[in-house]
Amino acid sequence: MIGTVVNTACIIVGTLAGTLFKKGLGEKYTNTLFNAMGLASIALGVNSFAQNITKSEFPVLFILSLAIGGLVGTALDLDGRVQRAIAKRGGENLATGLISACLLYCIGTFSIVGPVLSALQGDNTFLFTNSTLDLVTSTVFATTFGIGMILAAPILFLWQGSIFLIAKLASTSEMLQGTLVNELAVVGGVLILASGLSILRIKDCKTLNYIPSLLVPVIWFAVKSLF
């Protein structure tokens, strides 16, 4: 778990540093950073999708995942509930930034594969690499959205911690041999891309409504393993 602890600490440090820098920036520069994060989200989302879709054994699974997950999330109004809850504390921009940051921190190859390697092999290389990236990213996010972005730290800890524990408990499962990770990274790439569109105010995709999409590949492989 040391890799996850370091990753969480880097987000906290980066957020605090970014909040301090924010005080010296005018609106023009803040908007520039806002756009930069949107463009970065789109680039990272496309990269995650492109790298992993070619490795997928079920190329249409991500489409089914987005469709089913989107319907479930919309029925539960996940995006609306979270947006309203966060907006009461920090405004609409904080809600958009926090959702995007959580996706970037959590739904990446390093953040998914890292805890698995840490649990199965004691190798924290991926998590330490992810920590460095998140340190920089969280600084920029906080410069744009403020101290409220620190809420992403416990979310990342719970996410990676859960993957770590599941990997420990299911260390012999074929689900953890790469295929499931690829499918999650494909779906995650689309979600990160959607969050970038929201940041740039090109299209409000209500990204959080699609979070249940990440459960579909897990359920698919769990059912498949029974036959």
| Alpha-carbon torsion, ordered 5, 7, 13, 18, to 10 deg | -160
Task: Please report the pLDDT score of residue 227 as a whole number.
Answer: 76
| Closest by Cα among 161, 142, 152 to 15 | 142
The sign one gets for the Cα dihedral 184, 10, 1, 123 is: positive
223, 8, 216: which is closest to 114 by C-alpha?
8
Q: What percent of the chain stands above pLDDT 70?
A: 87
What's the pLDDT tens digit per position in 5-26? 999 999 999 899 888 876 666 6
Percentage of the chain beyond pLDDT 90 is 16
| More confident of the two residues 91 and 129 | 129
Quickly count helices (H) and strands (E) in the chain: 10, 0
> What is the rounded average pLDDT for all residues in the chain?
82
Rounded to two decimals, the pTM is: 0.72
pLDDT of residue 31 exceeding 80, the answer is no
Pick left, alpha or beta for residue 108 (phi over 0 → left; psi -120 to 50 → alpha; otherwise beta): beta
Torsions phi, psi for 187 (to 5 deg): -65, -45
Extents of the domains making up the chain: 2-224
Handedness of CA 169, 102, 134, 188 (dihedral sign): positive
